[in-house]
Structure 1
Amino acid sequence: MATNAPSQDTEGENYDTIPARHLGVQTRKKLALWLNPPRVGGTNWEELADEMGFEYIEIENFKMKDSPMYEVLHVWSLKENATIGHLIEMLKSIERFDVLEEIQSSLAKDISKYRERSSSPMPVQVPDVSPSNYPNLPTTSELHGITLQDDPEGVHKELFDAYVCYCKQDRDFVLKMVERLEREQAGPGGRRLKLCMDDRDLIPGTAYLPVTAELIENRCKRMVVVLSPEFLTSPECDFQTKYAMSLSPGAKKQRLIPVMYKQIEVPQLLRFVTVIDYVKEELKSWFWVRLAKALSRP
């Protein structure tokens, strides 16, 4: 095992401004290859996950995955303060200089690609719609004007009680949920709840993953997860659930509300969160009141 610090190329620059989500596939695979195996008297992915701020119950859940390190990286890299510089410092902290040396070449490629994208000029616009030719033409940043009621200038941002994470196959149930909670089931003081539903509230043409991450983190107090067999095979639902969970480690903020719409085995990530059951007939009479109460909490 190498015991020396990594070369000057890795150590000599500050990478704290480069988001960890720009780590490439090869770098992630190498980290998993070197940190997944247990090390007698040494450190592996568990110590790194602890450095990243994951709690005991989360680390125990990661152990159920085929590649715990790859899963840890995926969830951690979605966090706002996760940077390549931070990752390097954590690997030093657990004294895995050998891993730093192994990923050095692939990490350099990731950083180079990031800088190329960051420094690339914006595409030339068609003259007819260029802002220079039309000074009054509204301009919208990526995360402004993403819902129908948003102010394109970013002054007013539409807020919601909950974001609904669901598969398209379950849309009919979600429409029923919106009908019941927004029009029939009142919250405290008679206030109607407000849900965020992709098909209804998002403006077409926006970048889906960044926009939904913005909504989940900053625009919605909670997220309702509609569980069904289709949910288990949806990459979009997988991303949204893991992202919301990363914002509330250990479910301390009671941010996720899983709804069992069709009978499935609850995903490992959600097994320590109370599920509201819509499958059992004897529970349906209480279902909407319980869900409304959960979404109405401060």
Structure 2
Amino acid sequence: MASVVDPDMFQVPLAALCNSTREALSTHLNPLKVLPTDEGLLRDWRGLAQLAGFSGQMVALMGSKPDPTAQVLSQWRQGSVGLLRSILGQLDRWDIVNDTQNMMDHDAVLFLKRKEETGASAPELDADVDKEILTIADVYRLEQGMEPQRYDAFLLFADEDQDFAMQIMDRMETEYGLKLCLRDRDLVGGLTFEHEAIMRLIARRCNRLIVIASPNFLKSEANKFFVTFATALGIDQRLRKVVPVMYQRCQLPPELTYYFWLDYSRAGKLYDFWTKLHNSIHSPSNMQSSRTNLPAIKANGEESCSLKPQPVLEHNTVISSNWKDEDPADSCSLGSENSSTLSQNVSSQCIF
């Protein structure tokens, strides 16, 4: 058995590497190297993928992703920290070994210490990660025999809008005591199917999806898919799922023009944006109280397009313009006349 003080790195799985270590590896390995090793091995992520045993087709698929090194590390199920270091040596990338040695050692010690304290074997932990453990909080809750973490909202934003997203995270968690889920901060490293994990979090573990709309946000097909997916969930379950925030004015896709939006540009003494956002996240869904009175939705969707939500609030208004900003109680609510049309639109986009 590997010692916590002097760990056998060949017994430490790649799942032990934290996100900062993985990012450091990506920084070194993602840039393509022209000169190969004396054995003809490419000295970047492609050489790592080759020696890890991935097929040429898989390597090509990884190369189409923004961070191919992360793809290699997440899908290399039989890899270990020791084997990773050995391969980096074969690739003549001792610069990476030297730069990341302390980080890997630190990750390995933490992993083995946690394993020793919980008494969980690596195969058992891996099986749980594949099924239910999606976030870092889940790992610690698993060790304490608790259910996976639930969140008030999943925060979806473009990378270019990260500074504003961090403001939302800080205000909502520090001042209002909410718990948000962010992809880069909360998801565990090494998830094979990140999109599927995010969908499961949005559908089962996050009460809301906060959407930060901007021109950069709409450039991402993945972001637009998650919004469409959450919108379909909200319609089928008759609850408010999406909390839309207009950060920078942009031309919204058709499925998003049905919402009332919180306008960040109006923030000030006369428009308390942060309180409105908190109330939109924390308040009960407009439709939850009337769900028991609604007929069941058939599996083939015959009734899903004919059902009209019963208005609970006096000012549940139909949206006719591209976007509107209203009080927190109205933000994210759908106009009853438009709900069937939107249900038809999103149902055709969310079949997977």
State the TM-score, normalized to the length of structure 1. Answer: 0.50
For residues 77 and 206 of structure 2, the distance between their equivalents in structure 1, rounded to whole angstroms, comes to: 36
- Greater RCO, CA 8 A, separation 6+: 1
Q: Give the superposition deviation at 1:140.
A: 2.8
User: Does residue 139 in structure 1 map to residue 139 in structure 2?
Assistant: no
Matching residue within 209, 230, 233 for 2:219: 233
* Aligned partner of residue 281 in structure 2, secondary structure: helix
Q: Which amino acid aligns with 1:232?
A: L
Gaps of 5+ in 1: 1-122, 187-191
User: Does residue 179 in structure 1 map to residue 165 in structure 2?
Assistant: no
* Aligned partner of residue 232 in structure 2, secondary structure: helix
2:135·2:188 contact (CA, 8 Å) conserved in 1? Answer: yes
1:277·1:283 contact (CA, 8 Å) conserved in 2? Answer: no
Q: Which amino acid aligns with 1:180?
A: R
Q: Give the superposition deviation at 1:165.
A: 1.1
Structure 2 counterpart of 1:258: 244
Q: Which amino acid aligns with 2:127?
A: T
1:245·1:251 contact (CA, 8 Å) conserved in 2? Answer: no
Written as runs of structure 1 = structure 2, the 5 A alignment for 1:93-172 is 125=78, 136-137=121-122, 138-141=125-128, 142-151=130-139, 152=142, 155-172=146-163
For residues 239 and 251 of structure 1, the distance between their equivalents in structure 2, rounded to whole angstroms, comes to: 18
User: Does residue 248 in structure 1 map to residue 211 in structure 2?
Assistant: no
Residue 204 and residue 296 in structure 1: after superposition, are their counterparts in 2 closer, same or farther (change >3 A)? same
Q: Deviations over 1:104-129 (max 9, x none)?
A: xxxxxxxxxxxxxxxxxxx9947999
Aligned residues: 167
Q: Give the superposition deviation at 1:143.
A: 3.7
Q: Give the superposition deviation at 1:219.
A: 0.6
Q: Deviations over 1:147-201 (max 9, x none)?
A: 11104588521110001111111110010001111101x2xxxxx1111111111
1:263·1:279 contact (CA, 8 Å) conserved in 2? Answer: no
1:167·1:230 contact (CA, 8 Å) conserved in 2? Answer: yes
Q: Which amino acid aligns with 1:260?
A: M
For residues 250 and 180 of structure 2, the distance between their equivalents in structure 1, rounded to whole angstroms, comes to: 24
* Aligned partner of residue 248 in structure 1, secondary structure: helix
1:163·1:224 contact (CA, 8 Å) conserved in 2? Answer: yes
Task: State the Cα RMSD in Å.
Answer: 3.0
* Aligned partner of residue 175 in structure 1, secondary structure: helix
For residues 167 and 124 of structure 1, the distance between their equivalents in structure 2, rounded to whole angstroms, comes to: 29
1:258·1:273 contact (CA, 8 Å) conserved in 2? Answer: yes
Q: Which amino acid aligns with 2:222?
A: E
For residues 264 and 179 of structure 2, the distance between their equivalents in structure 1, rounded to whole angstroms, comes to: 20
For residues 270 and 162 of structure 2, the distance between their equivalents in structure 1, rounded to whole angstroms, comes to: 19
Structure 1 counterpart of 2:185: 200
Query: Greater CA radius of gyration, 1 or 2?
Result: 2
Residue 265 and residue 140 in structure 1: after superposition, are their counterparts in 2 closer, same or farther (change >3 A)? same
For residues 255 and 148 of structure 1, the distance between their equivalents in structure 2, rounded to whole angstroms, comes to: 23
Structure 1 counterpart of 2:208: 222
* Aligned partner of residue 273 in structure 1, secondary structure: coil
Q: Which moved more, 1:246-255 or 1:266-275?
A: 246-255
Q: Which amino acid aligns with 1:193?
A: L
Q: Which amino acid aligns with 2:209?
A: M
For residues 138 and 127 of structure 2, the distance between their equivalents in structure 1, rounded to whole angstroms, comes to: 11
Q: Which amino acid aligns with 1:248?
A: G
For residues 183 and 225 of structure 1, the distance between their equivalents in structure 2, rounded to whole angstroms, comes to: 20
Residue 124 and residue 221 in structure 1: after superposition, are their counterparts in 2 closer, same or farther (change >3 A)? closer
